[in-house]
Chains A and B, each alone.
Chain A
Amino acid sequence: MNFGVVVFPGSNCDRDCAYVLSEVLGHQAHLIWHQETTLDGIDAVILPGGFSYGDYLRTGAIARFSPIMGAVQQFATKGGMVLGICNGFQILLEVGLLPGAMLRNRELTFICKEVYVKVENASTPFTGRCESGQVLKLPIAHAEGNYYTDPVTLSALKANAQIVFRYCSLEGKVLTDSNPNGSLDNIAGIRNAAGNVMGLMPHPERCAENALGNEDGKVLFLSMVDALKKASGNSTLASV
């Protein structure tokens, strides 16, 4: 499969994503500079983590106007899979492909640690290899991950099973104590109504191989590969 990893000025997880896709999973990863305007030949797009445009004004606020984002919006509108990780999630919110906005973390600090998230929806193209309710240990690293949306939108997110990940305890309990940043309803990741766009604050690319001591993040990328193969009519399971 051909994955496109968009590189904004200030992205710093682009190569980690590309490494996982190419070296760990054996697929093609194309780094796409933000000045590009097309996504020809790309099967799925990843907006990586980092500090695009220095997080000036608001996280993701300037990156959303990068030339490549027009193509990303078209790609998403046509049903293409788009995954936003951390800063990528913030960009998806700013561009309106996902609802809501990010506020500063409740305690104002930049948080860099491993957290537990519960898979609330295992029927998305990004979580097909997960069990519903499964607990994943994933690292977070952000200062603006305090997800907010209005009550009407939150109701819609719940009604449509758009909340994909919630911060939880090791046992899978969604508690206030297990919420690292004050995020509304412990939300760590959401998808759009159509299901082809997802954003999450944790970094699955930082824990996708055994050598790193944790490969819980690998299931997201494997799930995407499964979904792409299914979509292209090839139902053969990934051999990785």
Chain B
Amino acid sequence: MKARVRVTLKPGILDPQGRAIQQALATLGFTSVEGVRVGKYLEVELNETDKAVAESTLKAMCEKLLANPVIENYQCDLDSH
């Protein structure tokens, strides 16, 4: 089973990378850009067939290691096949 994990900075947390990219986009003429936030995207291969177990395992992974709850939120999606 394959999981896709997105880790993003919580709203309100300063994102210097996002700000720099936003400025670069504006310099390139993409004037409609109002904000950019940079996060992490992880693909996790799981040797697990039970979707509920996989979901709880992923949640534990995110809370223990993949995201820092002080500054980050996470979102997990599981491939159905």
A interface residues, Cβ below 8 angstroms from B = 57-58, 61-62, 65, 93-94, 99-101, 103-108, 146, 148-150, 182
Contacts and interface: CB of A to CB of B under 8 A. Distances in A.
Interface residues of B, number: 12
Contacts, number: 39
B75 interface: no
A108 B20 contact: yes
A150 B15 CA distance: 15
Given A103-B16, A108-B17, A148-B13, A61 B71 contact: no
A93 B17 CA distance: 21
B68 interface: yes
A149 B17 contact: no
B70 A57 contact: no
Interface of B: 13-17, 20, 40, 65-66, 68, 70-71
B68 A103 contact: no
23 contacts: A57-B40, A58-B68, A61-B65, A93-B70, A99-B70, A100-B70, A101-B68, A101-B71, A103-B13, A103-B14, A103-B16, A104-B16, A105-B16, A106-B16, A107-B16, A108-B16, A108-B20, A146-B14, A148-B14, A148-B70, A148-B71, A149-B70, A150-B70
